[in-house]
Amino acid sequence: MSQLIFEKSVPGSNSFALGLSDLPADLQSDIPAAMLRDEPPPLPDVAEVEVVRHFTALSKKAYGVDDGFYPLGSCTMKYNPRIGEWAARLSGFTAAHPAQPADQVQGCLELMYRLERLLCEITGMHRFTLQPAAGAHGELVGALIIKAYHTARGDLKRNIILVPDSAHGTNPATANMVGFKVVEIKSDGRGLVDLEQLQKAVSEQVAGLMLTNPNTLGLFEENIGQIARIVHDAGGLLYYDGANLNGIMGVARPGDMGFDIVHLNLHKTFAAPHGGGGPGAGPVGVKDFLSQFLPVPLVEQKEGRYYLDYDRPASIGRVLAWHGNFAVLVKAFTYLLGLGAAGVKEACQNAVLNANYLRRHIGRLLPVPYDRLCKHEFVATGKELKKKYGVSTLDMAKRLLDYGYHPPTVYFPLIVEEALMIEPTETESKERLDRFIRTMQAIVQEAAENPQLLKDAPRRTPVRRLDETAAARQPVLRWHPEGAVK
């Protein structure tokens, strides 16, 4: 590990000094004593050039979509066009304050209004709230709307949310947070929702079904019409987890499939940095009959002027301090205007084409349990390599780091043993995909000839294999002056 900037500190190396202050000498008397320091903060004493070198070196150790292929399944890590960054930095947006009167921020409100219209068109919904800060936050809003809908109808016995066994882990967690009991629906032999199981599970207690389509196996739920009828006939609502919208955007709409509520991940599907690269946005869309429950305020237009409508008495209330992560909304709006309707559809088609190209080639190296036409992603299994050579899917993922790739998602979904989920997205060329295939060929060959090489991976990264549980649950994030880790 490289030194921390505190460890590089050398007393006297920073010659920078502040000039004399023109503030009143007795300024401290206006500050409560409890808020005053007893001693100067322990800042590192480092020359400017060393500061620049330090943070430049750190930046080179990070890996993202700007560095190379990022085939992270179920998370759509696509290229983020720089024009989105340019638009989000326009002073008219960055200088605006969310507390300004509507008359002073007409441009911002118009952008939000028009973005909502575009999202409605893409999903087949009637209204959207742009407030939720990320996908899981959007799920929470969706689940609260489901609860508000049944409560408003006096149907208080509905306390169950159905969730397929291939669902994202946030689905059952979110439903549980809102107070619903979660009942799992098994997948059938084709990796889709088992209709017989679903029919048995619905009852007068079911509030709704949370479903991802295409699902986490990358498969389109071909029986979505029947699924919608079963849930609706039982009095429940159908919720769409939009994490995988990249596989159908511009081609099929959740609203036309029978979904009542949708959340989108603008930071995935519509190309804004995420995953440590920036904040998210998880707008929630609903059909007309649910729009009264959306969070306040909504952006409305009257006589050519835009305003914020707070007069919505059935609303579940505000779910974020202000009006959403606005810069992400700007990037998504820019992305959609840049592509246009034809471009959005083409991006989806190329994502599906790339995924199936990899599925056919990787499938010759590692079995694909549900090996048929997929959408944006597919799931292979490393169980045969583990059985023959003792090499796990995690070992393969770590070896990919040595070859300069971000590893795909592993061990998800849980219904595939030794799962390796791959999503290439539409922004990778055939040449890049071919290089990835050759890398996977090399890794599979290494597993047979020198399995220890994979078990010791990664070998070429700044740090070797970590205790991932400890790194996630016991991170050391703070430096202490005395050098003691607390």
Amino acid at 203: S
Judged by DSSP in three states, 135 sits in helix
Question: What is the rounded CA–CA span in Å between residue 149 and residue 239?
Answer: 13
Closest alpha carbon to 229 in 191, 199, 190, 204: 199
The string of pLDDT tens digits covering residues 328-382 is 999 999 999 999 999 999 999 999 999 999 999 999 999 999 999 999 999 999 9
Does 320 have pLDDT greater than 90? yes
Assigned token pair, 32: 């409560």
Question: What is the rounded CA–CA span in Å between residue 254 and residue 99?
Answer: 34
pLDDT at residue number 277: 61
Residues in CB range of 111: below 8 A, 6 or more apart: 329, 330, 333
Mean pLDDT of 301-308: 97
Closest alpha carbon to 261 in 150, 402, 424, 411: 150
- Give the pLDDT band of residue 21 (cuts 50, 70, 90): confident
Does 62 have pLDDT greater than 80? yes
Question: What is the rounded CA–CA span in Å between residue 250 and residue 263?
Answer: 16
133 within 8 A of 321, measured Cβ to Cβ = no
- Give the chain's length: 486
Question: What is the rounded CA–CA span in Å between residue 36 and residue 32?
Answer: 7
Question: What is the rounded CA–CA span in Å between residue 222 and residue 355?
Answer: 18
pLDDT at residue number 16: 77
Question: What is the rounded CA–CA span in Å between residue 207 and residue 9?
Answer: 59
Does 486 have pLDDT greater than 70? no
Assigned token pair, 270: 């519509």
Model confidence pTM above 0.75? yes
The string of pLDDT tens digits covering residues 128-186 is 999 999 999 999 999 999 999 999 999 999 999 999 999 998 999 999 999 999 999 99
- Give the pLDDT band of residue 269 (cuts 50, 70, 90): very high
Point out which residues pair with 63 in neighbouring strands. Answer: none
453 within 8 A of 442, measured Cβ to Cβ = no
pLDDT at residue number 276: 65
Question: What is the rounded CA–CA span in Å between residue 107 and residue 330?
Answer: 11
Mean pLDDT of all residues in the chain?
94
Closest alpha carbon to 336 in 345, 324, 349, 323: 345
Judged by DSSP in three states, 440 sits in helix
Question: What is the rounded CA–CA span in Å between residue 255 and residue 155?
Answer: 24
Rg value, the chain, Cα: 26
Point out which residues pair with 264 in neighbouring strands. Answer: 242
How many degrees, rounded to 5, is the angle at CA 168 between CA 153 and CA 244? 95
pLDDT at residue number 362: 98
Point out which residues pair with 316 in neighbouring strands. Answer: none
Closest alpha carbon to 265 in 254, 280, 253: 280
Task: Output DSSP code: residue 193.
Answer: B
pLDDT at residue number 348: 98
The structure tokens 């609903």 sit at 286
Residues in CB range of 123: below 8 A, 6 or more apart: 240, 242, 245, 253, 254, 255, 262, 264, 285
Does 116 have pLDDT greater than 80? yes
Mean pLDDT of 384-397: 97
Does 448 have pLDDT greater than 60? yes
Question: What is the rounded CA–CA span in Å between residue 19 and residue 22?
Answer: 9
Closest alpha carbon to 380 in 348, 355, 354: 355
Find the helix or strand (DSSP H, E) in which 393 lies. helix 393-402
The string of pLDDT tens digits covering residues 395-426 is 999 999 999 999 999 999 999 999 999 999 99
The string of pLDDT tens digits covering residues 37-53 is 888 888 899 999 999 99
Judged by DSSP in three states, 239 sits in strand
Question: What is the rounded CA–CA span in Å between residue 218 and residue 212?
Answer: 10
